[in-house]
Structure 1
Amino acid sequence: MPDTGNGSTAAQRDVYFGPNKGWASVPVIDRQGLSGEISEGPLIVEEYDSTTVVPPGWNATIDRWSNIILEKVFSS
């Protein structure tokens, strides 16, 4: 199970990430749960007016202006 950064994995949703990744059951977290810590994808971030999908191999965090920032994770 991916680390959502806030320990919240109560809701799950099945998501299709294309032919290479296929289907995955991913956690759904409230946007307020992104408290500045890095949350590893795959996961879904929901709020009242939008939904953000964080694919496998990406991280999500909140910046100082409360924007959701997605960053690609590169293996070294």
Structure 2
Amino acid sequence: MATLRLKQRHGSKRRRAWRVRHLATDANTGRRIASTLTDRDADDGSRIGRLLEQATEAAIAAEMLNRMVELGRLKHVRTA
């Protein structure tokens, strides 16, 4: 009876699963450079490859953008 009331009130008897946000930060600036979201069973070591890929892609894009600004080829910069 009590579980029926809980289900009616909250929609489900089961709890929601926890999610884990894995972050990579720049040691010099403290800014976040990459992130990924996993279920609670994934450890940090299993996500390091994807975090490094994201950080590398962001660094390359930033370097190219800075170079274009230096050369005067970029008049307007749109950021997300």
The TM-score with structure 2 as length reference comes to: 0.26
Name the one with the larger helix percent: 2
TM normalised by structure 1 equals: 0.27
